[in-house]
Amino acid sequence: MKTLLKLAIEAAIYAGAEIMNIYSGSFEVTLKQDNSPLTIADEHANAIINAYLQKTAIPIISEENKQIPYEIRKHWDMCWMVDPLDGTKEFVKRNGEFTVNIALIQHNKPVLGVIYVPETKIVYYALVSNNKAYKAELDAHTFTDAIFKNSTELVPQKEFDNQIKIVGSRSHKSEATTNFIKNLEAQGHDIRLVSKGSSLKFCLVAQGEASIYPRFAPTMEWDTAAGHAICNAVGLKVMQVDRSDELQYNKENLLNPYFIVQ
């Protein structure tokens, strides 16, 4: 599993390097059928990641790949779950809050997660079975084994006082999220809202910079899988709203239900 983790980190970093090459120049934005934005950065990053992950012979589900019928997918014990550029809206806005997400799914659960932040050259990674997650700050978009030596362990905020830091989406706010916050305020909590784009929201909770991440707006499995793995590795749960189960992956419908990370 450590070999797969190294491969995923390497793929994410070099995809991030290509994303930044495009980010530094001009690029066109087109709309997909669901009206979400698409850039050449999404496509180039996806090609790089596919080239790495295809070496493993483990099937790949990526936002930018042609989706494989569930009749085939349902027989998979393992698969990669990839978002080559999570936060394309943030990429287009040029605010730096976009990531590369790679996760490994086994029996419908994330067991490995990598999130790379190209703008800051920070990589987050975890093997869930190790019960630890890490982040490393790189000098360049280059993979070396020194990443593991120079990593720091993530420690979530297990307990919080009357102030609750809630991390929310930069570009996808919802009335349900507003009501969730008002309910906590009505209970006497002092709420501080932190806005972030992409899978960075999972990272903030995993490293103790936020207490909770409620998501009452649509997400796809590739948006959450890597962050889910990192949060699970530090003892956090990604629970479906009004259910006693965590998010599941490689479902027939790849759309996630609403969830809360804490």
Residues 65 and 173 reside in one and the same domain: no
Which of 132, 153, 174 terminates a domain? The answer is 153
Residues 120 and 92 reside in one and the same domain: yes
Model pLDDT for residues 173-229, shown as the tens digit of each residue: 678 888 888 888 888 778 888 888 899 999 999 999 999 999 999 999 999 999 999
Q: Does a structural domain hold residue 158?
A: no
Model-level pTM?
0.94
CATH number at residue 147: 3.30.540.10
Which of 122, 153, 184 terminates a domain? The answer is 153
Q: Does a structural domain hold residue 74?
A: yes
DSSP track, 183-231: HHHHTT-EEEEEEE-TTHHHHHHHTTS-SBEEE-S--BHHHHHHHHHHH
Rounded distance, CA 89 to CA 221, Å? 18
User: By residue range, what is the domain housing residue 42?
Assistant: 2-153
Residues 138 and 238 reside in one and the same domain: no
Which pLDDT score, from 0 to 100, does residue 120 have?
97
Residues 119 and 195 reside in one and the same domain: no
Residues 107 and 212 reside in one and the same domain: no
The total domain count for the chain is 2
Residues 42 and 146 reside in one and the same domain: yes
pLDDT average, residue stretch 121-130: 98
In sequence order, what are the beta bridge partners of 225? none
